[in-house]
Structure 1
Amino acid sequence: MRKRLLISFSGGRTSAFMTHWLLTNMQDEFEMPVVFANTGKEREETLEFIQQCDKHFDFNLVWIESVANYQKGKGVSARVVSFENASRNGEPFESFIKSMVSRIWVPLSAHGN
């Protein structure tokens, strides 16, 4: 049974090179799913490059986006998206930041200021 190795593809050129190298040279040793975590802040050209790499090199890429949870004690989850429906206006990033701020923010009045 092969070990599992998750490849997080950033969408950059060196990440594309490393992903392709791993998939080409380490298939016998590892099962390697490839994931791209879309923040919604990437440039369209980056998303197009990611899509082209996936098709050309057969990455079998899984696109994911964070799903923020504002409830205390609940973590962030993810949803699977695609090139066609991936967020492009920063929604996953901004929602995540808001959820983090809502968990850690303590108003100044709580400190007697």
Structure 2
Amino acid sequence: MSSSFITEENVLISFSGGRTSGLMLKMFIDANGGTLPTNYKVVFANTGKEHPNTLKFVNDCAVNWGIEIVWLEFKCDEGDKPKQRWKQVSYETASRDGQPFADLIKMRSYLPNPVTRFCTIDMKIRPIQFYCEQILSWTEWNVAIGFRADEMSRVKKLANNKEKFERFAPLAQLSITKREVSEFWQSQAFDLELPNNNGVTDHGNCDLCFLKGEYKRIRLMAEHPEIANWWIEQEQSIGATFRKDAPNYQQLKQFAIKQVDFFGYEREDLADCFCAD
């Protein structure tokens, strides 16, 4: 077992709600004798656009493994200063209608995009940071990220960090790949109730994140066209699009409904996002 799982330093375990970070969390628990010391905290940052089964999975991990998972959300009530733009919620009270994300877009008056991904910063990184500083009174800490050894391009980006905390990928250090992740969950009494597409959970994270390729987003809309409505509303409210190099969400929804030939659309996600695992 890597020494990264056992340390006297403060550790923030960033749980995305996916299978990989779920395995990482269980390895931390097992390495520390079945529980987590007080210098370890597990946090899930909810955007309101996660699949309901992702939220259920986060809660299932807490219940089945007997640990506390802290749920955080972005908020921007009138008069809030930047460091007040977060709140602690629970599985029962967490947003399921995209309101935190919509509030952020309204506050910013423009949409996040592949170049300016403030959604990750404002809805995940900053709420977690403010929780560590304001509630835990931590001045230094390490953030465990659920990146595997078969996604080293993402792991390498962790070193490019100007924050007061250090990020690390313990699973990558142990050469764990999606194969080991899949084998682990096949042996468990519960699992994330979302399809596993060769180690990738297409339905995971924000349901129609603009970083997902057009082909993937069209397929997801073909299954449930209604999930496009929130994204369409955001584009129309701002009068812009999440991506300038792709059809807008209204057009993608029409493609999905008509089940047109998807040939020509990119099949790969555009970029790596630290929301994912």
Comparing both structures, which one devotes a greater share of its residues to strand?
A: 1
| Correspondences of 1:1-113 after superposition (within 5 Å) | 2-25=8-31, 31-68=39-76, 74-75=81-82, 77-101=85-109
Cα distance in 1, alignment partners of residues 89 and 77 from structure 2: 18
Which amino acid in the other structure matches residue 82 of structure 2? G
**Residues paired across the two proteins, number:** 100
In the TM superposition, what whole-angstrom CA distance separates every residue of 1:33-73 from its partner, at most 9, and x where no partner exists? 0011010001111111111011111231011111126669x
Secondary structure of 1:33's match? Answer: strand
2:86 match: secondary structure: strand
Instruction: Quote the offset at 1:24 in angstroms.
Output: 2.2
Gaps in structure 1 of 5+ consecutive residues? 103-113
TM-score by length of 2: 0.33
Change (3 A) 1:51 1:94: same
Conserved in 2, the CA contact under 8 Å of 1:70 and 1:99? Answer: no
Aligned CA RMSD, in angstroms, stands at: 2.5
* Partner residue, 2:251: none
Identity %: 39
CA distance in structure 2 between the partners assigned to 1:7 and 1:59 by the alignment: 12
CA distance in structure 1 between the aligned counterparts of 2:79 and 2:106, rounded to whole angstroms? 12
For residue 67 of structure 1, give the secondary structure of its aligned residue in structure 2. coil
Which consecutive residues of structure 2, in runs of 5 or more, have no partner in the other structure?
1-6, 111-277
- Which deviates more from structure 2 when the two are superposed, residues 56-65 or residues 7-16? 56-65
Q: Distance in 1 between matches of 2:77 and 2:94?
A: 19
